[in-house]
Amino acid sequence: MEGLLHVFSFGMAYFFVVLLALVLLLNIPGLPANWLVLVLVGIWQFVHPQPGDLDAWYWIMAVGLAVLGEVLETGVQIIKGRRHGSSKTGTFAGMVGAFVGAIVFAPFLLGIGALLGALFGAWLGCLLVELMRGRPLQQSLDAAFGTMMGRFLGTVCKCGVGGAIVALTARRIWPEMSPVVLPLPDMPPAPPAEPGQVVLWLGHLFC
């Protein structure tokens, strides 16, 4: 019975970690996927009879990582866009365009369309706003490219931080699998060897 409980706990932890990894994909359209991961971990800790080592230090590290992900995502987008001449309005329009593009193209290419749609939406949103502000075409294209690359790098950083949160969670909730000792069948005792058999066996060994 104890071995069955260990297997059940292992299976539950495995599927829960897979679920958390899938939730990280919501970072692509710009949704707060890392925070949703923490919400799911909180539910796991509340309903699971053996939640693992989800102590205060875990939550301090996990929340700190989630905050770092948000800072990196936004900061990289702004810095990359500014380096290519994007204005504040153009960068903001790129963020909105990335969200809309990811939602529109999400059903295509088995979900990869969400990433492509986010990049295209960031590029198009920034480009249109910069052109509406009266900037030359070449400057607008350069700003749109910087906003698109900032969106891509920011998403990569945020997904990487989310992966660290999932890895930290998996390490804390994974059940300790104790070795299972299987009972050995009762074997009849071997008959004692006769002296003649021992001599014959030694002869085969050395010849």
Q: 147 with 76: CB under 8 angstroms?
A: no
Q: What are phi and psi of 136, to 5 degrees?
A: -60, 160
> Smallest Cα–Cα separation from 102: which of 116, 90, 87?
116
Provide the residue ranges of all domains of the chain, joining segments of one domain with +: 2-174
pLDDT band (50, 70, 90) for residue 204: low
pTM higher than 0.85: no
Residue 14 clears pLDDT 60, i.e. is over it: yes
> Smallest Cα–Cα separation from 31: which of 126, 87, 102, 127?
102
How many CB atoms within 10 Å of residue 37?
Answer: 24
Q: In this predicted model, what pLDDT tens digit does every residue of 28-74 receive, in sequence order?
A: 877 888 999 999 998 888 887 565 677 888 899 999 999 999 898 88
Q: In this predicted model, what pLDDT tens digit does every residue of 100-125 receive, in sequence order?
A: 888 888 777 666 777 788 888 888 88
Give the separation between CA 3 and CA 177, rounded to whole angstroms.
Answer: 9
